[in-house]
């Protein structure tokens, strides 16, 4: 079993209480880490170190007396279990000493490797191996990498092997193990319509940031300086800014992240209402092709695998984003070079070669059905850890 550190603080594995209070939709991209352990072992081990809450800023919460923090967290954990239907299935520990199997602890760098890190270091070091998920690792990367690299026996995991990525190597060194696991596509992403009956167009989906507008700006300066850009998703921004030039090729459902919101409202509204106002499953099933757009530091988007499961022919930038997952250009997706002309050429090729486009769509769907489900991903994680 894997012990999960502070899974209540964000929406990676379950809905945090803070999201529930404001009615914000959680993404729960890694829910299988909880559900598979419950399904296989009857329960999941959770370690709460008492330093972090989803309801209060870390730096403020960490300054509260320990007795108050624990009182508030016990209330929060009870509500967290209830809203996620985990009652009776989660074994909550407040100290590593009560956990009998301390071989592996699984944590997300996003909040666990920032702010009050020194208060939770001993909790993490009590385990033989630290499995650190790199989702959102590019935010405050100097701080996160320094803290993560100070731990003993660390293994990183992400949706691609980042070990050769220059940006990752700059901050995490060049000798780290990065376990590559695809995203888990939810069961609602399925092939509902035969490929040949779909519109001969490409659905482009996702959101993109203008990092110049994110606050505090210092959290994002490392990635902006390294890549000389103000967005994580340059292809998404390129398509959004030039959608009028792609009207014959693409149905654009790409949206800016938090556009037009100021102050506290920025944290509550991330354009999710707009983005989820249409049925993305229907959008994928109505179009033969799909384009999601990769993250500039070497990672694919979750929508890539969701569109695969819906039977689309995916367009993706070739090589580094997918090679470590065994996803091959021309077999599982149609490659492009990240330019407008390159995207047009890829779609023209698929239109001129409909049998090849359908073959790629089938291969992609088979890959998603085999590798992007919760049991297969959890099995792969356990295999990579052996």
| Tens-place pLDDT, residues 47-104 | 999 999 999 998 899 899 999 999 999 999 999 999 999 999 999 999 999 999 999 9
The answer to which of 268-282, 331-345, 349-363 has the lowest mean pLDDT is 268-282
Q: What is the DSSP letter of 25?
A: P
Percent of the chain's residues with pLDDT above 70: 94
3-state helix, strand, coil in the chain (%, to 5): 45, 15, 40
Q: What is the DSSP letter of 182?
A: P
Give ∠ CA 286-290-291 in degrees, rounded to 5.
150
Alpha-carbon distance of 317 to 294, in angstroms, equals: 7
| Tens-place pLDDT, residues 234-251 | 999 999 999 999 999 999
Alpha-carbon distance of 262 to 269, in angstroms, equals: 10
pLDDT at residue 276 tops 80: no
pLDDT at residue 265 tops 60: no
Give bridge partners of residue 130 from the DSSP assignment. 105, 154
* Residue 260 pLDDT level (bands cut at 50, 70, 90): low
pLDDT of residue 278: 58
Residue 177, CA distances (Å) to 28, 130, 378 in order:
25, 12, 18
pLDDT of residue 319: 80
């Amino acid at each position: 079993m894997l012990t999960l550190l502070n899974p209540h603080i964000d929406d990676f594995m379950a809905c945090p209480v803070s999201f529930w209070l404001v009615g914000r939709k959680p993404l729960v991209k890694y829910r299988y880490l909880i559900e598979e352990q419950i399904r296989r072992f009857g329960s999941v081990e959770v370690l709460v170190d008492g330093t972090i809450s989803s309801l209060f800023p870390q730096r403020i919460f960490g300054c509260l007396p320990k007795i108050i923090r624990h009182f508030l967290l016990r209330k929060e954990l009870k509500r967290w279990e209830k809203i996620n239907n985990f009652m009776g299935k989660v074994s909550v520990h407040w100290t590593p000493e009560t956990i009998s199997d301390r071989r592996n602890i699984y944590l997300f760098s996003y909040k666990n490797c920032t702010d009050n890190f020194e208060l939770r270091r001993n909790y993490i070091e009590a385990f033989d191996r630290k499995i650190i998920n790199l989702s959102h690792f590019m935010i405050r990367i100097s701080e996160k990498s320094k803290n993560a690299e100070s731990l003993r026996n660390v293994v990183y995991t992400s949706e691609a092997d980042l070990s050769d990525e220059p940006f990752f190597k700059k901050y995490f060194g060049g000798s780290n193990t990065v376990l590559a696991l695809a995203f888990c596509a939810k069961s609602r992403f399925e092939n509902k319509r035969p490929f040949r009956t779909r519109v001969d167009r490409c659905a482009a989906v996702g959101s993109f940031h203008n990092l110049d507008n994110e606050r505090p700006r210092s959290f994002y300066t490392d990635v902006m300086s390294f890549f000389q850009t103000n967005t994580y998703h340059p292809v998404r921004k390129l398509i959004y800014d030039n959608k009028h030039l792609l009207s014959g090729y693409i149905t654009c459902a790409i949206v800016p992240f938090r556009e037009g919101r100021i102050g506290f409202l920025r944290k509550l509204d991330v354009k999710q209402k707009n983005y989820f106002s249409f049925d993305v499953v229907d959008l994928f099933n109505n179009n033969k092709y799909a384009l999601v757009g990769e993250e500039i530091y070497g990672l694919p988007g979750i929508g890539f695998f969701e569109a695969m499961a819906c039977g689309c022919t995916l367009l993706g930038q070739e090589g580094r984003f997918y090679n470590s997952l065994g996803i091959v250009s021309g077999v599982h997706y149609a490659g492009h070079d990240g330019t407008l002309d390159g995207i047009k050429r890829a779609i023209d090729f698929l239109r001129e070669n409909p049998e090849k486009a359908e073959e790629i769509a089938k291969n992609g769907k088979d890959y998603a059905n085999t590798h992007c489900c919760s049991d297969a991903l959890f099995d792969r994680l356990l295999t990579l850890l052996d």
